Amino acid sequence: MRKFKVVGKSVPKVDALALAQGKPLFTDDIELRGMLHAKILWSPHAHARIKNIDTSKAEALPGVHAVLCYKNVPRVIHTTAGQGWPEPSPYDIVMFDNKVRYVGDRVAAVAAETEEIAERALELIKVEYEPLPAVFDPERAMDKGAPVIHDEPDCKYIIPVFYDPKHNHCAHIDLEVGDFEQGIKEADFVVECKFKTHHEQHCSLEPHTCICYFDPAGRLIIRTSNQVPFHVRRIVAQCLQVPERMIRVIKPRIGGGFGGKQEVLIEEVCAMLAMLTKRPVRLAYTREEEFVSARVRHPMVMWAKTGVKKDGTITAIQLKVLSNAGAYGAHAMTVMNNTCAKALPLFRCKNIKWVADAVYTNLLPGGAYRGYGVTQAAFPMGVMMDEMAEAIGMDPVDFWKLNTIKEGETSPIFKALSETGRGVEMIVESCSLPECIDKGAEVFGWREKRERYKKQSKGPIKHGIGMCCLVQGGTVPLIDMASAYAKMNDDGSFNLLIGATDLGTGADTVLSQIFAETLDIPVEDVIVYPSDTDLTPFDKGAYASGTTYLSGMAVLRTAEKIREQILGVAADILGEPKEGLRIENKGVVSGKSGKRVEFSQIIKRALYGKDQFQIGATASEFSRLPPQSFAAHFAEVAVDTETGQVKVLSYVAAVDCGTAVNPKLAEGQAEGAILNGISYALTEEFIFDDRGRVLNPSFTDYKIFSAPDIPKITTILVPSYEPTGPYGAKTVGEVNINGPLPAISNAIYNAVGIRLYETPFTPERVLNALKEKRKSKIKQR
Amino acid sequence: MIPKFDYFRPKTTEELVDLLAKYGEDAKMFAGGTDLFVLMRDRLIRPKYVIDLKGIEELHEFSYDEKRGLRIGATVTLNELLESDVVKERFGVLWSAAGALADPTIRNRGTLVGNICNASPAADTAPALLVLDAEVEVAGKGGERTIPIRDFFIGVKRTSLKPEEFVKAVRIPNPPAGAKGGYYKWGRTRGEDLAVVGVAALVVNSGKRIVRVALSSVFKTPLRVPEVEKVFEEEGPLDEQIERAVSAVQEKIAPITDVRSSKEYRIHMAGVLTRRALKELFGGS
C-alpha cells in the first residue's frame, strides 16, 4: 500500500470554522425582501375522503397571498422518494388529494405575510371529511375487507414490478438460492422466531426547511435542506409541470439528514406557492411536524428460521419480511429488498430463502433511514446467530467468525438481488472482518467478561455481553452516478465543484482530501463548492453510504485528468517528454534532469503565456458494484431486574471501511450511528392512539439519547484496501447503525436469560419478559 | 412561534400587585419562563399579558437563618440553590431534587417557585418541599398570607393561588436534627426528562425513627404519604417497616397511564424507589 500525504489524515473539516462562528450557512439563515411564510394544514383523520374544502375565508384574510388544495393544483401522480429515474417507488402521491391516508397527511397550504397570519388562515379553512375505516396493523392490511388505502386509479410503478394496491400490497419479491428445505433437513438444530421492529424518526437537528424565490431571469431558485438536490430539481419540475431548465436547486449547509431528506417532502409546495404569488416563500417544518408528517424508518414484522450443524455449519436461512410502508410507498420496495440484498451476503450459507412484502397502512409513511432495511434485518439475523451458537455450544465470537464472508469469497445473493431488483455478481475484494472480530473482542475483553458474568452478583443488577457482525453494501450498483468538475486558478489553487451533498458528514472535506492527494497539494488549495444544480455536475446525492466511494472516485478521476494537463504544460516548459515527469508538492519534477516547475508557473503559462487554455476537467463514475463495509460490534449491559432498565456500560465497534480517508470523521460517523442505534434500541418510540394519532410528537416524550446518556463507545478502524474505491476507501455512513439492536438483545440474554424479539427494549418490556420467565419456570417445576 | 402578548416588567412588588389586580385573570407571571413559553409555543395557553418578575429586586432574596430556616425568593434559580452549601448540607432532599430537574441549562433560568407554581404532578422539587414542611409566602391586593405547601397544590396544574396573588418566596424550616434525605427520580433517559415516578424521602435514624415520603407523577398533585410516617412511629424490624411503607405508598397513589409509562409500571416503580430510598437513607445496601 502506498504512503499517503493527505488521505488517512484527520484534517479539520473545511467548513468547521464558519460553522463554529455561526455564519449564516443554513437554509433558514437568509431573509429575502417580501418573503412570505407558508404553513400546511394536516389531516386529523387516519383515513378519510375530503368531500369539500372551503378556502374562501382564509383567502379573504388580509396578508394571505395564496391557498392551495386539491381544487386548484394539478393532479400529478409521482413519488416523493428522492431516487434515480425511473424511481423504484410507486407513483402513489399527489401534491394535494381529495383523500387523506394518515393523521398528518397534507390537506392544504397557505402563504402569508407572516407565520402568524398563515396559521390563522389555516384555522379558517373549512374541510368536510367523510371518515373511512382505517387499518394500522400490517398483519391485517391484506385481510379480506380491509379498507383500500390507494383506491385511486392512477397509482402505479413506472418500472415493471409487482404492485397490487387494491389489496394494500405495495411490494412483493421472493427468492431462493440453493434449497432451503433440504438445508433444514441437513441441520442438527433448527431455530425459528418472530421479530418486530418499530417506527423511528430521524430527529435531524435541522428540520425540513426550504426557501423558494425567482432570480432576475425568472428562474425558480430552490434553497433547501435536502440530501438529493438533483432529484429535487427533477421531481419539482415534474410536479409543477415546468421544464427542468426553469429550476435551480441550491443546497447550503445541512443540519443532518439520515435519510429523512432523501425525499421531496416540502419543496414542491413551497415552489408552487412561489410560482403563484411571485414572491419568495419560506416553508419550514416545526419539530412537531417532523414527528407527525415527515418520514420514518419502516417498522417490520419478520419471521426467521435457520438450521445449523453441530460443527457450526449453517445449513439453511429463511427470512420472511412484512414491511409497514404506511400511507405512501416511498422507498418501500427498496428498503424491503435490502433486508436481503444488503444484509444476507454476510452469511456463508448455501441455502437461503427470502420472502418479502410491503403493505400500505394508515400510519406515517416510511422512507429512507440510515441503514435502509439492513438495520431491520440485522436484528433477527444477529439474534438467530446467537441462538444457533448457543444451540451447538460454541462461543458466539467463534461462530460468527466461522460463518461470515471472507475476502475473495462471493455470496449468491449478490447476483440474485440488489436494492432495486437486479443483482450484480461480485467477489468481496476487501474484507478485514476476521481482524475486526479479533481486535474488537480483545479490546472489549470478550472472553474474560464472558467468564466473569457466568457468576452474577446477588443484587438486582445483572451484567451481560453480546456481539454481532454487520455488513452494508454502499451505493446502488449500476444505477448511481457521481461527478465532479475542477479548474485551476492563477495561484495554483483549484475550484472543485461537486454534485455530492455534504449533510454535516464531512463529505466536502473528504472529497477535498482525495483531490488534494491526487495532485499532491494541501487541502487549503482546494476551494470546494457542492450541490448546486446550475453550477456543479450531477450527483445522485447523499444516500446508500455512497459519497466517499462513488463521488470520491469521480473526484479522483477529475484530478487525474487535470494532472495530465498539468504535466503536458510542464513538459512544454521544461522541454522534456511528459512521461519522465511527476507531480510533487505543488510542482512538477523531472526524474531525468531533476528540474522543477511550480504549479503557479504552469497555470500562468496556460492562462496568459502560450497556447492558452483553462486547465480543468470533469469526470464521472457510476457504481459497478456495491463495496461491502463490515463491522464487529460488542455490547456490555447492566440489566436492573427490579426496574427492567437496560444500561449499556460499554460498546466496542471494530469497523472495516477500507481506507479511512479522514479517520476522525470516519470515527464520528461510526459513533454517531452507534449512538443513534442504541437510542433506537432502548428509548425511541412512537406512541399512537387507536385512531392513528402520534401521542408524543416532541422531544419531551420521544426520547432520544442526549449527552448524559452516552455510554463509553470505542471505535477501532481496521483498514482493508478496496481496489475499486478511491485510495482503497469504501463506505462508513450506515453500517454501524445496524449493530445495537442485535448486540444489546444478545447481551440482555447473556445477563438475565430472556430473549427480546420485539423492539425497543424498554424497562416495561424487559420487566414483563422477566415475569414471564419466572412464570414459565414455576410451571416447569 | 409564540403568540403575541403584552409584556410588563415591574420593578417593585407594589407595581406587581397593581398589575395583577388589573390583569390577573389574563396575565401569566414568569421568572425563568422554562415552563410558560413552552406552553405558549404549543398553544396550550394564550395569555394576553406576560409579567416578568426578574426586575423586582426583592424577589431575588435567598437567605438562611439558624432559627427560621431557609427563605427562597421567587426569582432564585435552581442553579443558585444548587450552588448553596447550606442547601446541600442541611436540606439534602431539596438539593437532590433541584439537581434532578431538567438539565443545567434549564436550571440556569428555571426557579423553584416557578416549578411549584406550574404545579405539574411531575414537579421535581414539590415532593422535597412536601417532606420538608415548606410554607409558601403569598401576596396580593388583599395583603399577605402563608400557605402550607401541603395545601398549595389542588389539582393538575392548579394551585390555591388566586388570580391576583403571587408567590413571594418559599420558606423551609430546619429539618429535624440528623435528617438525611434524597430525591429518587425515575426517567426514561438520564438527559433531561420528566419523572415517570419521583420519590422524595427524609429519614432520621437517631433514636426514634422518623420517615417522611412524598412522590411526584403518581397522583393529580405531588403527594405526601402520611401513612408511611405512621409505620415508623412504632418500633419494629427495619426491613419489615420498609416493606409496610412500600405497601402504604402503593395503596395511596393513583397514577394514570400516559405516553411516559403505564399505570402498572408507575405503581411498581413507586414501590421500588421507595424501598431503595429508605434502604439507602437508613444506611443499608
Count the Cβ atoms, other than its own, within 10 Å of residue B108: 14
According to DSSP, residue B60 is labeled: G
Q: Do A683 and B189 touch (CB under 8 A)?
A: yes
Torsion of CA A507, A509, A512, A513, to 10 degrees: -110
Question: Do residues A505 and A596 share a domain?
Answer: yes
Name the nearest CA neighbour of A201 among A646, A543, A635, A694.
A694
Interface check B279 vs A, CB under 8 A: no
Residue B188 in contact with partner chain A when CB distance is under 8 A: yes
Partner residue facing A701 (CB), from B259, B262, B268: B259
Assign residue A586 a region (left: φ > 0; alpha: ψ between -120 and 50; beta: otherwise): left
> B215-229 burial, b for 16+ CB within 10 Å, e for fewer?
bbbbbbbbbbbeebb
A508 within some domain: yes
Of the three residues A585, A604, A622, the one that is the final residue of a domain is A622
3-state secondary structure of B278: helix
Instruction: Say whether both A484 and A421 belong to one domain.
Output: no
A166 located within any domain: no
Contact A337, A358 (CB under 8 A): no
Q: Residue type for A572, please?
A: D
Range of the domain at A514: 16-23+480-622
Residue A545 lies in a domain: yes
Q: Is residue A709 part of a domain?
A: yes
Ranges of chain A whose pLDDT falls below 70:
1-2, 778-781
- Please tell me whether residues A231 and A113 are part of one structural domain: yes
CA distance A674 to chain B (A): 17
Q: A238: domain CATH number?
A: 3.90.1170.50
pLDDT tens sequence across B144-172: 999 999 999 999 999 999 999 999 999 99
Contact flag A709-B189 (C-beta cutoff 8 Å): yes
CA distances from B80 to A81, B174, B262 (A): 51, 19, 35
* Domain architecture of chain B: domains with CATH: 6-52 (3.30.43.10), 57-172 (3.30.465.10), 180-281 (3.30.390.50)
Chain A: residue whose CA lies nearest to B275: A642
> Phi/psi at A169 (nearest 5 deg)?
-95, 105
Residue B173, min C-alpha distance to chain A (Å): 34
What is the rounded distance in angstroms from the CA atom of residue A14 to the CA atom of residue A590? 32
**Residue contact B285–A459, C-beta within 8 A:** yes
pLDDT band (50, 70, 90) for residue B285: very low
In tens, the pLDDT along B112-127 reads: 999 999 999 999 999 9
Contact call for A709 and B4, based on CB within 8 A: no
- Are A701 and B260 an interchain contact pair (Cβ–Cβ within 8 Å)? yes
Contact map slice: A 700-729 vs B, CB within 8 A: 700-701, 703-709
Using CA atoms, how far apart are residues A664 and A674, in angstroms rounded to an integer?
A: 15
Sole residue written with cell 442547601: B87
Between chains, do B272 and A119 touch, taking CB under 8 Å as contact? Answer: no
Same domain for A599 and A524? yes
Domain end marker among A599, A622, A645: A622
Q: Are strands A220-224 and A247-250 parallel, antiparallel or unpaired?
A: parallel
What cell does B98 get? Answer: 433541584
Nearest-Cα residue of chain A relative to residue B285 = A459
* A462 shares a domain with A374: yes
Of the CA atoms within 13 Å of residue A718, those in its CB half-sphere come to: 24
- Count Cβ atoms below 10 Å from residue A349 Cβ, excluding itself: 23
Among A584, A450, A573, smallest CA distance to A518 is for A584
Residues A544 and A661 in one domain: no
Q: Is A763 in contact with B265 (Cβ distance < 8 A)?
A: yes
With respect to residue A158, please indicate whether it lies within any of the assigned structural domains. no
Q: Is B262 on the interface with A (CB under 8 A)?
A: yes
Residues A590 and A731 in one domain: no
Is B262 in Cβ contact with A764 (below 8 Å)? yes
Q: What is the pTM of this model?
A: 0.97
Residue A641 per-residue DSSP state? T
Q: Looking at the complex, report in whole angstroms how far the Cα of residue B261 sits from the nearest Cα belonging to chain A.
A: 8
Residues A289 and A300 reside in one and the same domain: no
* A434 vs A552: CA distance, rounded Å: 27
Considering only CB atoms, which chain A residues are within 8 Å of B106?
none
Interchain CB contact of A593 with B (< 8 Å) = no
Given CB atoms, is B265 within the 8 Å cutoff of chain A?
yes
Q: Which residues of B touch A707 (CB under 8 A)?
A: 191
Q: Is residue A391 part of a domain?
A: yes
Number of domains in chain A: 3
Cell numbers for A473 = 453494501
- Record: contact A709-B285, CB cut-off 8 A: no
- CATH, residue A506: 3.30.365.10
Shortest Cα distance, chain B CAs vs residue A292, angstroms: 14
Report yes or no: B46 at the A interface, CB cutoff 8 Å. no
d(CA A627, CA A693): 40
Specify whether A463 is located in the same domain as A491. no
- Rounded to 10 deg, the angle between the A740-752 and A763-780 helix axes is 40
The reply to whether A696 touches chain B by the CB within 8 Å rule is yes
Cα distance between residue A346 and residue A379, in whole Å: 13
Q: In whole angstroms, give the CA distance from residue A647 to residue A20.
A: 33
Report yes or no: B141 at the A interface, CB cutoff 8 Å.
no
- A353 occurs within a structural domain: yes
- Given A622, A641, A676, which residue is the final one in a domain? A622
Question: Which has the closest alpha carbon to A134: A163, A97, A95, A105?
Answer: A105
User: Same domain for A123 and A268?
Assistant: yes
Q: Out of B1, B186, B189, whose CB is closest to A115? A: B1
Claim to verify: residue A396 and residue A493 sit in the same structural domain = no
A268 and A339 share one domain: no
Q: How many CB contacts within 8 angstroms connect chain A with chain B? A: 43
Nearest CA in chain B to A114: B1
- Asked if residue A163 belongs to a domain, the reply is no
Nearest to B124 by CA among B136, B111, B137, B109: B111
Within the 148-187 window of chain B, which residues sit less than 8 Å (CB to CB) from chain A? 186
Is the Cα dihedral A339, A340, A341, A345 positive or negative?
A: positive
- A708 vs B186, B190, B194: nearest CB: B190
Q: What is the pLDDT of residue A779?
A: 62
